[in-house]
Amino acid sequence: MRLGVDLGGTKIEAIALAEDGAPRARRRTATPAGDYAATVRAVAALVTAVEAEAGARPGGATVGIGIPGALSPATGLVKNANSTCLIGRPLDRDLAAALGRPVRLANDADCFALSEATDGAGAGAASVFGVILGTGVGGGIVVGGRPLAGPNAIAGEWGHNPLPWPRDEERPGPACYCGRRGCIETFLSGPGLGADHGQGLSGAEVAARAATGEPTAVAALDRYVDRLARALATVVNVLDPEVIVLGGGLSNLAVLYDRLPAALPAWVFSDTVRTRILPPVHGDSSGVRGAAWLWPQG
């Protein structure tokens, strides 16, 4: 049996999957805010509870954990985490000690992509790019059924590249927390869409107003689709994935699947674009399911 844990900034979720991917048990708990030691204890307690509920032998299930960051190949410590109490910590070793077994950690976007590549929208595809369009913009790459981390553990981090083919009015672009300006994330995140609309709305609220025909919202959503097409075109030009799966809160916008296939070819360096752009099969469950799939069959 496989156990997956999605360690988020506000909640920790765990799931137990049978060999065929069927869920056996699932629980959530609040993340101890800013408390690293308490977070380790909370994850360990949740794993123990879910393992028992699923009927697995204590300590017998594999454990994969998705985190909002990555383990540095240089130090083995967590980096790039928006849950800052994790930064600089040997989270994999501490959790392995607390659980009494090896654990596997991966970025939460990689877990999303792995879930959808294993038994979701990208099942059967040789290469899948999983996109996160939410509070931030991230991504994960799965090739041959396994996540690609890269030597710097940043594969798929397209949100901190500059918006491609920027128009004059898009330069230099909004300031990004990474210290640069004009990052894809500043345009394509939910807050980025809301800021572009300019009336203090969330991205979902802008989309809802666009659906009613409000001119300002329609124009903002038009710009969003155009920018997303340009940004994804660079991914296609470099990676050429068979499937792009959209995740995060903005992935619920049906307009993206209606309009992106027509918008993408203008920017892709090819005479045809066969890349499929799909919504996730597992939705909000993809992250925790993908963490479980960090331990492959066999």
Q: What is the pLDDT along the chain (298 residues), one digit of tens a residue?
A: 999 999 988 899 999 999 889 999 999 999 998 999 999 999 999 999 999 999 999 999 999 999 989 999 999 999 988 788 999 999 999 999 999 999 999 999 999 999 999 999 999 999 999 999 998 899 999 999 999 999 999 999 999 999 999 999 999 999 998 899 999 999 999 999 999 999 889 998 999 999 999 999 999 999 999 999 999 999 999 999 999 999 999 999 999 999 999 999 999 999 999 999 999 999 989 999 999 999 987 5
Predicted local distance difference test score (pLDDT) of residue 135: 86
Predicted local distance difference test score (pLDDT) of residue 22: 93
Predicted local distance difference test score (pLDDT) of residue 298: 53
Predicted local distance difference test score (pLDDT) of residue 177: 87
Predicted local distance difference test score (pLDDT) of residue 159: 94
> Which CATH class for the 121-280 domain?
alpha beta
Residue type, 82: N
| Per-residue tokens: 174 | 């909004």
Q: Looking at the domain 2-111+285-292, which fold is it? A: Nucleotidyltransferase; domain 5 (3.30.420)
CATH 3.30.420.40 residue ranges for the chain:
2-111+285-292, 121-280
* Interhelix angle 215-238/190-197, nearest 10 degrees: 140
Residue 247 pairs in a beta bridge with 132
